[in-house]
């Protein structure tokens, strides 16, 4: 097994180099002056000249790439001039908010998609099946930023059930003691109920918005792989042995049906990261996503570049983790 993991890590090296290569060359091949992007379009020519020298833009391209990689290894992702901090420290302060949001939406998506997918497969053509089909059809064509605004209109402006879409907590409470940076968990650990209520209330709507895309895809995947598994011989055998239908579905079929679903989780993480940019912006969620939108509006490229790199790395390592877990659960795939 250790050998398998090592081999997979080895295969990842060229992909990692490629990812770094692409994020670097996005700023160099495409038209547009990186110095102009960093200094802003208003910058005078002398400033630009100095900046080009400082950034090493006058060096040959391969040297620039080399220096870029060296800086990455030192954790230097560049400087965000619109905040006045290094990109690394901005990410560090904002990452917990994003992790909290993505985790919550991940949980919501699974909590809804798994049962819906199972029911839709075992009771084909039932109401649940039809609703989930319509839902996933709608989910694929409704932009999440629009859904977010409509939910805010209904649940905040009209019904007033949800707090104002302005960040993680209301004005009346201060953040819980910093342990993990995730307000829900921190307030639970310190048993700070008023903050916990606030944190959950603020988290719910953005997490639902972020979860919808994933929910639609996973429920359809669970359904189709359940259908495939249920038609196989071992399920018929299990039924013929007189095992309860419930146990056939939950023990024999589900475990096998979940494996294909597991493989798409890396892709799903990518969807979440892209979606976080949009969702956080709308809910003024102080995470990495809204930071990226601020950077876009300020034409500050270093954070965008770092985020692009980071999201590709997260996806690659998620895929690796998924493959390893898959190999642990189902040894057949290790011998390819």
Q: Which stretch binds other proteins (CB under 8 A): 12-20, 49-57, 116-124, 235-243?
A: 12-20
Q: Is 86 in the site for other proteins (CB under 8 A)?
A: no
Q: Is 14 in the site for other proteins (CB under 8 A)?
A: yes
By CB under 8 A, name the one of 81, 88, 145, 326 that touches other proteins.
Answer: 145
Q: Is 296 in the site for other proteins (CB under 8 A)?
A: yes
Q: Is 109 in the site for other proteins (CB under 8 A)?
A: no
Q: Is 206 in the site for other proteins (CB under 8 A)?
A: no
Q: Residue 256: CB partners within 8 Å, gap ≥ 6?
A: 225, 229
Q: How far apart are the first and last CA of the chain?
A: 13
Q: Is 161 in the site for other proteins (CB under 8 A)?
A: no
**Site size with other proteins, rule: CB under 8 A:** 54
By CB under 8 A, name the one of 55, 308, 324, 329 that touches other proteins.
Answer: 308
Q: Report the distance separating Cα 33 and Cα 80, nearest Å.
A: 16
Q: Residue 25: CB partners within 8 Å, gap ≥ 6?
A: none
Q: Is 131 in the site for other proteins (CB under 8 A)?
A: no
In the complex, minimum distance from the CB of residue 228 to other proteins, in angstroms, rounded to a whole number: 12
Q: Is 248 in the site for other proteins (CB under 8 A)?
A: no
By CB under 8 A, name the one of 275, 280, 287, 327 that touches other proteins.
Answer: 275
In the complex, minimum distance from the CB of residue 149 to other proteins, in angstroms, rounded to a whole number: 5
Task: Calculate the alpha carbon distances from 213 to 84, 103, 128, 167, 275 in Å.
Answer: 35, 14, 18, 22, 9
Site string for other proteins, 35-74 (x = CB under 8 A): --x-------------------------------------
In the complex, minimum distance from the CB of residue 278 to other proteins, in angstroms, rounded to a whole number: 6
Q: Is 18 in the site for other proteins (CB under 8 A)?
A: yes
Give the binding site for other proteins (CB under 8 A): 14-15, 18-19, 21-23, 26-27, 30-32, 37, 137-138, 140-143, 145-146, 149-150, 152-153, 156-158, 164-165, 269-271, 273-275, 277-278, 281-282, 292-293, 296-297, 299, 301, 304-305, 307-308, 311-312, 315-316
């Amino acid at each position: 097994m250790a050998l398998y993991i090592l081999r997979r890590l080895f295969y990842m090296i060229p992909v990692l180099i490629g990812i770094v290569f692409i994020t670097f060359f996005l700023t160099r091949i495409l038209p547009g002056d990186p110095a102009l992007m960093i200094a802003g379009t208003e910058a005078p020519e002398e400033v630009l000249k100095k900046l080009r020298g400082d950034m090493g833009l006058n060096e040959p391209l391969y040297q620039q790439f080399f220096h870029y990689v060296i800086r990455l290894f030192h954790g230097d992702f560049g400087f965000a001039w619109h905040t006045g901090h290094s990109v690394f420290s901005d990410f560090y302060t904002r990452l917990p908010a994003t992790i909290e949001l993505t985790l919550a939406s991940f949980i919501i998506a699974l909590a809804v998609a798994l049962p819906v997918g199972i029911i839709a497969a075992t009771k084909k053509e039932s109401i649940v099946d039809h609703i989930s089909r319509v839902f996933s059809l709608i989910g694929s064509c409704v932009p999440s930023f629009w859904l977010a605004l409509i939910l805010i209109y209904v649940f905040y402006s009209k019904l007033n059930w949800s707090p104002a879409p302005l960040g993680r907590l209301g004005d009346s409470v201060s953040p819980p003691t910093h342990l993990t940076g995730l307000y829900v968990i921190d307030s639970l650990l310190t048993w700070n109920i008023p903050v916990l209520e606030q944190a959950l209330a603020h988290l719910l709507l953005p997490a639902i918005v972020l979860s919808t895309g994933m929910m639609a895809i996973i429920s359809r995947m669970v359904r189709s792989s359940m259908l495939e598994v249920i038609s196989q011989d071992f399920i018929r055998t299990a039924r013929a042995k007189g095992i309860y239908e419930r146990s056939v579905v939950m023990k024999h079929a589900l475990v096998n049906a979940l494996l294909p679903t597991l493989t798409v989780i890396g892709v799903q993480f990518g969807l979440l990261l892209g979606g976080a940019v949009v969702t956080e912006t709308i809910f003024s969620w102080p995470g990495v996503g809204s930071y990226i939108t601020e950077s876009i509006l300020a034409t500050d490229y270093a954070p965008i570049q770092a985020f692009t790199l980071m999201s590709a790395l997260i996806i690659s390592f998620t895929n690796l983790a998924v493959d390893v877990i898959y190999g642990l659960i189902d040894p057949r795939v290790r011998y390819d």
